[in-house]
Amino acid sequence: MSFDSLLLRAIDESLSVMGEEPKRALYQYLLSIHTLKTEDIPAKTGQFALGMRRALGTASKVIEKLILKRLYEKIGTSYQEIQGFDFGDYVEDARQKFAMQPSGTLDSQSEYTRSKKAQFSS
C-alpha cells in the first residue's frame, strides 16, 4: 500500500469520529471552498490543515492529532509531539519513515497486530 493511501485512510478513519454526515460535509467544504479534492490531500497537507482549521476551529487540532496517531500506527511507529512541527511536518516525517521501511510490510503488519489484539480482547 502506498503512503498516500495510508494517509487518506488515516484521515478518513479519524474524521469518522465526528460521524458520517459531518465527515462528508467537511470533505464537501474542502472541495467547494478550498478546491481540494480528497485524492489531492496527500500532496496538499498544508491546505488540508488550513481548511480543517477554518471549518472546525480549535477542534481541528484534536482531529489532526488523531489523524497523526493513526498514520504513525499504520506505518509501524508511534506519534511523538515535536516542538515547532505542524501537521505538514509530521506528515513529511511519517513519509520519510515509511520510505525507509521494507515495502509491503507496514500496513499488513499493523492490520495483523490489530486483528490479533481483537482476538485476545474478545
Examine the pLDDT at 120 and tell me if it is beyond 90.
no
Angle, in degrees to the nearest 10, between helices 45-56 and 20-34: 120
Examine the pLDDT at 114 and tell me if it is beyond 80.
no
Residue 93, pLDDT score:
97
Per-residue burial over 3-25, b = 16 or more CB atoms within 10 Å of its CB, e = otherwise:
beebbbebbeebbeeeeeeebee
Domain membership of residue 29 as a residue range: 3-121
Q: Domain tally for the chain? A: 1
Average pLDDT over residues 89-118: 67
Residue 103, pLDDT score:
62
Which domain CATH number covers 66? 1.10.1200.200
In whole angstroms, what is the distance from residue 26 CA to residue 16 CA? 11
pLDDT in tens, 9-61: 999 999 999 999 999 999 999 999 999 999 999 999 999 999 999 999 999 99
Query: For residue 58, what is its C-alpha cell?
Result: 480549535
